[in-house]
Amino acid sequence: MLHVTLDEATGIAILQPDGELSKEDFSSASEKIDPYIESKGSLNGLIIHTKAFPGWDSFGAWLTHVTFVKDHHKHVSKIAIATDSSVGGVAEHVANHFVNAEIKTFSFNDIDASKEWILGSNLT
């Protein structure tokens, strides 16, 4: 399951996977995030917050994930990956070739630092 929290005051979405990701997880995430993007034009940032990367429950789920990224990456300024998994660093380097957003990794417990990084140039 993918838990999605959208802080409309800061324009930050937090995605917290709990178990293997499914097609439905990305549909649910879109249902929460898309209305905000349609209203505001973009998200200031997205935080992927997970101790370890859980993987996908099927090839179809992976394809849905790829489609989710393709459909949303132009509407997100920064992506923070807050994880203790070595996959986070790899994901940062690979994703930099495919998404417009600036990407940075943080340790799992540094979620507050990841929020501060996202809001750094947007603080009023």
Which tops the pLDDT comparison, 26 or 121? Answer: 26
The rounded percent of the chain whose pLDDT value lies above 70 is 85
Is 8 within a domain? yes
pLDDT digits (tens, 9 = 90+) for 41-81: 999 999 999 998 888 899 999 899 888 888 887 899 899 99
Question: Which residues make Cβ contacts (< 8 Å) with residue 88, sequence separation at least 6?
Answer: 53, 81, 82, 105
- Percentage of the chain exceeding pLDDT 90: 61
CATH at residue 106: 3.30.750
65 within domain boundaries: yes
Predicted TM-score (pTM) of this structure: 0.84
Is residue 103 domain-resident?
Answer: yes
Q: Quick check: is 85 in a domain?
A: yes
In this prediction, residue 124 carries a pLDDT of: 39
Question: Which of 15, 1, 3 is closest to 79 using CA atoms?
Answer: 15
Domain that holds residue 85: 2-119
User: What's the domain count of the chain?
Assistant: 1
pLDDT at residue 98 above 60?
no
User: Is position 124 within any domain?
Assistant: no
Q: Are 65 and 56 in contact (CB under 8 A)?
A: yes
Angular region, 105: left φ>0, alpha ψ -120 to 50, beta rest: beta
